[in-house]
Amino acid sequence: MNAQNTRLGIWLMIATTFIFAVQDGISRHLAGEYNVLMVVMIRYWFFAAFVMTIASRKAGGLRAAAATSQPVMQAFRSLLLVTEICVMILGFTLLGLVESHAVFACYPLLIAALSGPVLGEKVGWRRWVAIGVGFVGVIIILEPGFGVFKPEAIVPLIAALMFALYGLLTRYVARRDTAATSFFWTGTVGSVAMTAVGMWFWEPMIASDWVWMGALCITGAAGHWTLIKCYEVAEASAVQPFAYLQLLFASTIGILAFSETIRLNVALGGALIVGAGLFTLWRQRRAG
């Protein structure tokens, strides 16, 4: 992989994290006004249309994109992602963007920890130490020993666990399916599942919030597109460290748009999690 491609990949990853942070800010606003399930359902309608449009333009069309020898696993990982999105947006409304993202940043460490039992990969002692340090960071953020422990702080941790499992299952299905097939299943199955659930929670939306809803749909599609392009031009191990910028971007939006504050324990815990995650990625790259 030449330097030019890696550099382009890094810029695409930075763009992706910024787009997803903006999307999270819009999600927080809409979920504060309307039911989370309805918001995610409308977002997924657009996502499914986007996925199907891309698939129909490729050789073999929709039939080729849908073809898989592991439909149960593809459906399960798609349902896992859409559930994780609902849980994470709920976290934004309960905790705000800063604290939710600080806890959620531990998902690469969860991927490293679970890659052994799920994918049969070897995890060395240095990575286990890094995983342990990262979880000390999570505990510092959650501060269970100081005063009243907030049970809602568990919400982004559950989302991180679900997203880590989704990431591992995506790697698992990639052994036999193309990225285009996984992308197609993610959008279509997620959309069907969210419609079945979200239609019962429909609420009328004011005109200005339909503008925000449109922005949410566009950022969702744009973020997925830049992420796909990113992985097309650069190796995942080279660009993955820059995914942590989403914590910085989302925290900035939380402070500027929602008047959130960064408490010392959140800053300290977040720094530990990111540091441990970057070390884990560095070890993975060396091992690779």
E runs forming strands in 114-215 = none
Provide the 8-state DSSP code for 153.
Answer: G
Q: What six digits make up the tokens of 68?
A: 């898989």
- Average of per-residue pLDDT across 92-110: 93
Tell me the CA distances in angstroms from 10 to 100, 239, 241, one per residue in order: 24, 5, 9
pLDDT at 148 over 70: no
Give the span between the Cα atoms of 137 and 70, in whole angstroms: 37
Closest CA to 186 of 92, 42, 27, 80: 80
Q: What six digits make up the tokens of 44?
A: 């997924």
pLDDT tens across 19-75, in order? 999 999 999 999 999 999 999 999 999 999 999 998 999 888 899 999 999 999 999
Closest CA to 214 of 35, 29, 46, 15: 46
pLDDT at 288: 66
Cβ neighbours of 6 (radius 10 Å): 15
Can you say how many angstroms the Cα of residue 140 is from the centroid of all Cα atoms in its chain? 22
Whether the model pTM is above 0.95 = no
pLDDT at 1: 44
Yes or no: say if 26 and 212 are a contact pair by the CB < 8 Å rule. Answer: yes
Tell me what the pLDDT averaged over the chain comes to: 91
Yes or no: say if 170 and 111 are a contact pair by the CB < 8 Å rule. Answer: no
Number of domains in the chain: 1
Q: What residues make up the domain containing 66?
A: 3-287
Q: Which residue in this structure is represented by tokens 């010392």?
A: 264
Closest CA to 278 of 67, 137, 143: 137
Yes or no: say if 179 and 51 are a contact pair by the CB < 8 Å rule. Answer: no
Winning range, highest mean pLDDT, from 120-134, 207-221, 269-283: 207-221
Reduce the DSSP state of residue 2 to 3 states and report it.
coil
Yes or no: say if 186 and 52 are a contact pair by the CB < 8 Å rule. Answer: no
Q: What six digits make up the tokens of 244?
A: 């942590």
